[in-house]
């Protein structure tokens, strides 16, 4: 692994650890309760992610994202906006034969306000490559959900490590 890549990986780990520690301290200090409606919306969005990936249904993949959402890739590339995130997924899915497996596991959530929830966990994908081989990818994630004016919970930030 290149020194630059190692540094980026360690920065991602440090950032993730720092954010999670801050969230844990906030939770211990009496963060607001997460509503049942928020939990249900987040669970439903997470449950739809892998089936949408398997179908290569980009519209369904990006449906939970806010119009101005920010997606940060494991390489540190920042993609802004639902349309640009959709383009990223289209390119990634076009480069493979398909998604054949995987999972998403939410490991925790904390609310910083009644309208803002931080969720963390890990996700994985099993990819069928065009040459017939398979590969695995994935890792930890940190997602920030915000309730919009109409009461819908949308992803405003999604960082994968």
pLDDT band per the 50, 70, 90 thresholds, residue 31: confident
Number of domains in the chain: 1
List, for residues 61-79, the tens digit of each pLDDT value. Answer: 999 999 999 999 999 999 9
- The pLDDT value given to residue 27: 52
d(CA 152, CA 148): 5
- The pLDDT value given to residue 18: 54
Q: Which helix (H) or strand (E) holds 17?
A: helix 3-28
To the nearest whole percent, how much of the chain has pLDDT over 90? Answer: 81
Range of the domain at 62: 3-160
d(CA 126, CA 98): 9
Higher pLDDT, 20 or 117: 117
CATH of the domain at 44: 3.10.450.50
Q: What is the mean pLDDT of residues 18-31?
A: 60
Q: Does the pLDDT of residue 91 top 80, yes or no?
A: yes
Q: Does the pLDDT of residue 20 top 90, yes or no?
A: no
d(CA 85, CA 67): 10
| Phi, psi of 60, deg, nearest 5 | -70, -35
CB-CB contact of 38 with 153 (8 Å):
yes
């Amino acid at each position: 692994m290149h020194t630059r890549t190692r540094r980026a990986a360690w920065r991602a780990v440090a950032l993730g650890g720092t954010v999670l520690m801050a969230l844990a301290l906030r939770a211990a200090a009496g963060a607001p309760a997460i509503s049942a409606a928020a939990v249900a919306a987040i669970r439903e969005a997470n449950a739809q992610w892998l089936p949408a990936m398997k179908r290569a249904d980009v519209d369904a993949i990006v449906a939970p994202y806010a119009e101005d959402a920010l997606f940060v890739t494991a390489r540190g590339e920042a993609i802004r906006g639902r349309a640009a995130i959709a383009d990223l997924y289209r390119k990634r899915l076009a480069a493979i034969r398909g998604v054949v497996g995987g999972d998403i596991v939410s490991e925790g959530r904390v609310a910083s306000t009644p309208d803002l929830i931080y969720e963390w966990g890990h996700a994985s994908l099993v990819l069928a490559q065009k040459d017939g081989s398979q590969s695995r990818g994935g890792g930890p994630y940190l997602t920030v959900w915000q309730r919009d004016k109409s009461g819908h919970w949308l992803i405003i930030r999604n960082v994968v490590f």
